[in-house]
Chains A and B, each alone.
Chain A
Amino acid sequence: MSEQLDAGLIAERIAESDQLGEPSGAHEVGRARRRKEDARLVTGRTTWTDNIQLPGMLYMAFLRSPMAHARITRVDTSAARARPGVVAVYSGRDLAGEQGSLPCAWPVTDDIVIPDHPPMAVEEVRYAGEAVACVVATDRYKAADALEAIEVDYEPLDAVVDMTEALAEGSPLVHESGNRAFTWKFAGGDIDAAFRDAPVVIERTYVQQRLIPTAMEPRAVVATTDGDGFTLYSATQIPHVLRVMLALTTGIPEHKLRVVAPDVGGGFGSKLQVTAEEVLSLLVTRRLGKPVKWTESRSEGNLTVHHGRDQLQRISLAAERDGRVRGVRVDLLADMGAYLMLVTPGIPLLGAFMYNGIYKIDAYDFTCTGVFTTKMPTDAYRGAGRPEATFAIERAVDELAHELGLDPVEVRRRNWITHQEFPYDTICGLTYDSGNYEAATEKALALFGYDKLRAEQSDRRDRRDPVQLGIGVSTYTEMCGLAPSRVLGSLSYGAGGWEHASVRMLPTGKVEVVTGTSPHGQGHETAWSQIVADALGVPFGDVAVLHGDTAISHKGMDTYGSRSLVVGGVAVLAACEKVKDKARRIAAHMLEASADDIEFSAGSFTVRGTAEGRTIQELALATFAAHDLPDGVEPGLDADATFDPDNFSFPHGTHLCAVEVDTETGACAIRSYVAVDDVGSVVNPLIVEGQVHGGIAQGIGQALFEEAVHDTEGNLLTTTMADYLIPTAADLPDFTTDRTETPATSNPLGVKGVGEAGTIASTPAVVNAIVDALRPYGVHDVRMPCTPERIWRVVSEAGPPASGSGARAGAASAEAPAGTSAEAPASAPGTASAPGSRSGSDSGSGSGSASTRAPGSGEATSSSEGGAR
């Protein structure tokens, strides 16, 4: 939606506070501009989809299955139809001939099973909450009332809740074709050689619990028609993708369908979807010829907004005794839920290339099996595959450090890619273009006061303080900026990863920018204005950014995967360059000079060595009048650009978390949190910091609070915000954030994605800290979310604490290469004294296996669930 909606006096009044950003020379890029978007948001002049009221509008409400798996034997809507204010009632059967199947755009293997996914169930329901009927009425209360009068008979079928059981022989089936959706494999290097004779092998199993994305704005849809064309307003992240997919699904021709994403209140991946309700709203408005609106309640949303994560990860590390990792093997089960939605099967693949993290390893082997269960489908949730990968490798590297008696920072240092080694080709076939893991880590350690905290930890252990201190380290990188189209093609994704932009100089010298990205909180109107202001030499306030309406922004790939700046922002810059090229030719003509002699600076084109010139605003007016243009030059000063990146973007950073864990109650509090991220060059440091803050909070949510819980019948138990706990202000500390800036070499802005980095980094930082606090008790893992009860149980079931500081084992093993251990800032006082005492602490709740291997044993031995339950 265009930012003009909020234009007016108030925007002018705040111009003063918009100057607050620290000037970075004369440049806009790099400045902490206050956001243009804020004016409408802090004054309530917003256009959320649910705010839209159209004449004659009707309201939809859905009757949803109370069972996870059942055959529908009868639906009787007649009583509901008779209710006052009810215009229509539809069952799945009523719509069966026209509703099609919800799309999956990512068939990851040739033999993947993609079951038919009717927007409204016709014969069988496969998750609790699946729509079975809908009422269309004159107001939202009447629509909800009439749901009670619909009669549905179900014949219960067995629920399939657990992934491992789903794959077992004789399991009830979600679909007749079986419960295995696909198996996808990927490998590099000689994994058998890496594990053969490996002196140390770490094997762990981690549970990525199911999450509910919980954007603050519930989903909402308004559909309307003029009898020929259709307009769909939706709280979506992907108006462009949605338009294509809805045209394919409903048969409404693409050119007769306009999709608008008005103000959208957060997404986090959950609004990267083609939903049943979007399709059904269009079908109903087509049938009735009237505008219809549907807005979900939060309880309805917890049931039916796609869920995230839900993977069972088995990870094995083969390492040398000095801590260097030889190879990584990953075996993953990914819960698809009942159907494959837009990119459901692709989510674990986005993690497949990241299990090597920031480390140099020789061999890698990855297998992922997608499994059907009778639960809400999973799909993208902030980070989408990379948080899972980062969690597993960062947890496993900590386990390796513990096994070897090394400091976790030191083990990382011995394995990471050094800054001289970029660009670096990883074992997963990616080329990390740039980074400086040393610099980010040093900065983080200093801000955190790492040595001092280690000393305090040692002291608390010595004193057997019931409140133990734990320190968690997470050094991450991730692949984002989705994505090079050729790579998406090689992964069987159904579309490209380019982005489009238009830049239009208006006759009065103002600038309109049209972007194919679709912001829902990220501040593109502000950041794109900064890029354009610098590129064209126009005032920041003279730029308007239009987006989110396929009738205004006709072409785009939308916003997800930390792609908007690194793909869409670069497209904006490219369009500006084209505008400048054209302006240069016109300036040369007007100034009677050669284009080669025209210099551009601060918005003016001048003849080299003279004061003679034209401003870009003057040129805009001249091209509008078009009285005197060079031969062959069209009137107007505008340009389009489409940017398809050559490579992904690889932000990285080091996050450090200190937790205090009360071993008597299981209570856990984050005492300090330091994040040093490297997202390349920064357009707006204020927005970057905000993204990091929010990302960290969401990752902490997974670590400590959030889980979608189902009972054995497949009923979701966490349907409200009272049951599914997202962090409150009181749950979180202030975060200390800082940056290093290693520009990306893969784009002219030098920028890297930032939207998901915080979430990817923070979950393992927190869990590593909790496990670190509990090491003296022999604890190797606490299953997420690490609730007080889980922590208490794990401590209770473990043995008494091993004595004193030796429980953390020696700071550096004897095999450590000379020099590296001495450099370790991690060698805290009192920790180097007792190598070998570690073995006593391994006996406690013993999860997984960390074995010193006999030569010749190439096979993985045992692995077990995480220690906690």
Chain B
Amino acid sequence: MPRITVTVDGVTYEEDVEPRLLLVHLLRDRLGKTGTPVGCDTSNCGACTVMLDGRSAKSCSVLAVQADGSDVVTIEGLARGDEWHPMQKAFHTEHALQCGYCTPGMIMAAIDLLRDDPDPSEEAVREGLEGNLCRCTGYCNIVRAVRLAAQEMSQAGERREVRTP
């Protein structure tokens, strides 16, 4: 069984894994990182999105062995101490979540979107989050939240790299 080394939310793990084990199952079932949920089995919904070496990735579409040597940040590692990431704050402020199941993936995808486009239009947010499905909100407040976070991050001069320092 291959042995991999992966850093998740700042902690380094050495794990023996079956080659077929999905990254999301490594996170959830082996490492207890249950903040990242699974919403489908065809990589359509995006609920399982995490940061893999600083870019968003659907962790159901990555094998654990492919993450060998990588840095993973999940929703659980996003806050700095008690200080939420501006995207987390914006989702709360704009009521951009209801059941919250899509939220971890949506937040991760939105952060990556701002990396490419720090001040996205409404349309750009909608296009950029097309790979993340939400059944509760109708997306209006998600779009508002992403644009609010963009504003706040640019005002704070912040373009935070989401990876373990």
Q: Which residues of A contact B (CB under 8 A)?
A: 9-10, 13-14, 17, 20, 34-35, 37-46, 48, 50-51, 53, 139-141, 214-218, 263-266, 268, 297-299, 520-523, 686-687, 689-691, 693-698, 720-722, 726-730, 732, 734-735, 758
Chain B residues, Cβ within 8 Å of A691: 98
With both chains docked as a complex, state the minimum distance between the C-beta of A730 and any C-beta of chain B, in angstroms. Answer: 4
Contact indicator per residue, chain B 10-34, by CB within 8 Å of chain A (1) or not (0): 0000000010110001001100111
Contacts of B99 in A (CB 8 A): 215-217, 264-266, 520-521
- Residue in chain B with minimal CB distance to A39: B92
B134 touches A13 (CB 8 A): no
Which B44-90 residues have a C-beta within 8 angstroms of A? Answer: 44-45, 47, 74-76, 78-79, 82-84, 88-89
B135 touching A693 by the CB < 8 A rule?
A: no
Distance of A264 from chain B, by nearest CB (Å): 7
Main secondary structure of the interface of B (DSSP, over half): loop
A690 touching B37 in the complex, CB below 8 Å, given contacts A216-B102, A728-B130: no
Picked from B36, B42, B89, the residue with its CB within 8 Å of the CB of A299 is B42
Q: Are A14 and B100 in contact (CB under 8 A)?
A: no
Q: Which residues of A contact B35 (CB under 8 A)?
A: 43-46
Known: A297-B41, A697-B138. A265 touches B100 (CB 8 A): yes
Q: Could you write out 12 A-B pairs with CB less than 8 Å apart?
A: A10-B84, A17-B89, A43-B75, A216-B101, A265-B101, A266-B101, A696-B138, A698-B135, A720-B40, A721-B40, A729-B139, A734-B143
Nearest 6 pairs between A and B by C-beta? A44-B35, A41-B100, A265-B101, A521-B99, A697-B138, A693-B138
A54 to chain B, nearest CB (A): 13
A35, A50, A215, A263: which contacts B95 (Cβ < 8 A)? A35
A106–B138 Cα distance when bound, in Å, is 32
Residue of A nearest to B144 (CB): A734
Known: A42-B84, A43-B79. A217 touches B139 (CB 8 A): no
Closest to B47 in A: A216
Query: A37, A215, A686, A694: which has the most chain B beta carbons within 10 Å?
Result: A694
Binding site for A on B (CB under 8 A): 18, 20-21, 25, 28-29, 32-42, 44-45, 47, 74-76, 78-79, 82-84, 88-89, 91-93, 95, 97-104, 107, 122, 125-127, 129-143
**17 more CB-based (< 8 A) A-B contacts, given A299-B42, A729-B142:** A10-B79, A37-B100, A42-B75, A42-B84, A43-B79, A44-B34, A45-B76, A50-B34, A215-B135, A217-B101, A265-B100, A298-B41, A521-B98, A720-B41, A722-B44, A729-B132, A730-B129
Chain A residues near B91: list those with CB within 8 A: 38, 42
Structural contact, A46 and B100, CB atoms closer than 8 A:
yes
Task: Give bound CA distance, A466 to B130, whole Å.
Answer: 28
Is A216's CB under 8 angstroms from B45's CB? yes
Interface centre among B25, B97, B141 (most CB of A within 10 A): B97
> How far apart are the CA atoms of A694 and B98 in the complex, in Å?
9
> Which A residues touch B135, using CB under 8 A?
214-216, 266, 268, 694, 698, 726
Whole-angstrom CA separation of A758 from B138 in the bound complex: 11
Chain B positions within 8 Å of A37 at CB level: 100
Contact of A48 with B139 in the complex, beta carbons under 8 Å:
no
Are A42 and B103 also in contact (CB < 8 A) when A10-B84, A217-B37, A521-B136 are? yes
Known A46-B35, A140-B29, A730-B126: A41·B42 in contact at CB below 8 Å: no
Q: Judging by beta carbons under 8 Å apart, are B45 and A686 in contact?
A: no
A139 to B21, CA, bound (A): 12
B140 in contact with A299 (CB, 8 Å):
no
B92 close to A14 (CB less than 8 A): yes
* Chain B contacts for A216, CB-based, 8 A: 39, 45, 47, 99, 101-102, 133-136
Q: Are B137 and A693 in contact (CB under 8 A)?
A: yes
Q: A263: which B residues are within 8 A, CB to CB?
A: 100
How near does chain A come to B99, taking the closest CB pair, in angstroms?
Answer: 3
A38/B100 in contact, CB under 8 A: yes
A522 to B103, CA, bound (A): 15
Given the known interface contacts A268-B135, A721-B40, A732-B138, the answer about A42 and B100 at a Cβ–Cβ threshold of 8 Å is yes
Distance in angstroms between the alpha carbons of A708 and B95 in the assembled complex: 31
B101 to chain A: which residues have CB within 8 Å? 48, 215-217, 265-266
**Residue of B whose beta carbon sits closest to that of A35:** B95
Give the interface centre of A41, A687, A695, A720 by most chain B CB atoms within 10 Å: A41
Assembly CA distance A64 to B78 (angstroms): 40
Please pick, from A46, A264, A695, the residue contacting B34 in the complex, using a CB distance under 8 A.
A46
With a cutoff of 8 Å between Cβ atoms, the chain A residues found around residue B41 in the complex are 297-299, 720
Contact A690 B95 (CB under 8 A): yes
Partner of A697, one of B37, B78, B89, B139: B139
Contact B92 A734 (CB under 8 A): no
In the complex, what's the smallest C-beta–C-beta distance from B122 to chain A, in angstroms?
A: 7
CA A758 to CA B135, docked complex, whole Å: 13
* Contact partner, A43, options B21, B88, B130, Cβ 8 Å: B88
Q: Establish whether residues A266 and B37, one from each chain, have CB atoms under 8 Å apart when the complex forms.
A: no
Residues of A within 8 A of B20 (CB): 141
Q: How far is the CA of A217 from the CA of B141 in the complex (A)?
A: 20
In whole angstroms, what is the CA distance A694 to B136 when docked? 5
Q: Which residues of B sit under 8 angstroms from A726, Cβ to Cβ?
A: 133, 135
What is the minimal beta-carbon distance from B79 to any residue of chain A, in angstroms? Answer: 6
Give B80 Cβ to nearest chain A Cβ, in Å: 12
Q: Which residues of chain B come closer than 8 Å to A690, judged between CB atoms?
A: 95, 98, 136-137, 141
Least distance between A387 CB and chain B CB atoms (Å):
16
Bound together, the chains give a CA A691 to CA B99 distance in angstroms of 11
Closest to A297 in B: B41
Task: Report how far A845 CA is from B73 CA in the complex, Å.
Answer: 56
Instruction: Report A801 CB to chain B, min CB distance, Å.
Output: 31
Please give the distance in Å from A784's CB to the nearest CB on chain B: 18
**A298-B42 in contact given A51-B34, A216-B101, A521-B136 (Cβ < 8 Å):** yes
Other-chain residue from A13, A51, A694 in contact with B28 (beta carbon distance below 8 A): A51
C-alpha gap A336/B107 in the complex (Å): 39
CB-contact partner of A265 in B37, B92, B130, under 8 A? B37
Contact A266 B98 (CB under 8 A): yes
**Chain B residue nearest in CB terms to A302:** B40
Bound together, the chains give a CA A37 to CA B91 distance in angstroms of 12
In the assembly, what is the distance between CA of A758 and CA of B98, in Å? Answer: 15
Interface centre among A216, A698, A722, by most chain B C-beta atoms within 10 angstroms, is A216
Residues in B with CB closer than 8 Å to A297 are 40-41
Which of B39, B88, B98 sits near A522, CB closer than 8 Å? B98
Partner of B76, one of A20, A44, A695, A696: A44
Interface centre among A17, A37, A48, A299 (most CB of B within 10 A): A48
Q: A10-B79, A44-B75 are in contact. Are A730 and B47 (CB under 8 A)?
A: no
Contact call B98/A42, Cβ cutoff below 8 A: no
* A621: min CB distance to chain B, Å: 31
CA distance A10 to B79 in the complex (A): 10
From residue A308, how far is it (CB to closest CB) to chain B in Å?
13
Q: State whether A14 touches B76 (Cβ < 8 A).
A: no
Q: Chain B's nearest CB lies how many Å from the CB of A300? A: 8
Contact A721 B103 (CB under 8 A): no
* In-complex Cβ contact of A48 among B37, B78, B93 (8 A): B37
Whether B103 and A50, one on each chain, are in contact in the complex, defined by CB atoms closer than 8 angstroms, is no
Neighbouring B residues of A17 by C-beta, 8 Å: 89, 92-93
